Structure 1
């Protein structure tokens, strides 16, 4: 989590340097929202990958069981 905060600070800070001073607060809010959305999407993808790996493992176990029955 510490690394995520560090990366976020660099990305947001770099983007803010490109924005005029008056618009920085709005831009900061926008960037934070985009970052949070991307983090949620990444977490969802990681959960889906985990689920798919578990499913694949269960399918492989079933295949192995069937092969053992045939032999």
Structure 2
């Protein structure tokens, strides 16, 4: 199932689409969001999250986990 999901996400991006639309990103799509946004866009999103949630209390550990951020850099 995961292999099929990854193939669908990759094809969507290759065709100029997005990995999300009317649904949220969620845990399963977070790595694909990073691919779609690229390093600059992903860092911008992380910075916005930090500005509005400096204590990390809103949806903690979901999209911007430290281990995930280090893998993307």
Query: By the TM > 0.5 criterion, same fold?
Result: no
Larger relative helix fraction: 1
Q: Which has the larger radius of gyration?
A: 1
RCO higher in structure (CA 8 A, sep ≥6): 2
TM-score normalised by length of structure 1: 0.29
TM-score normalised by length of structure 2: 0.28
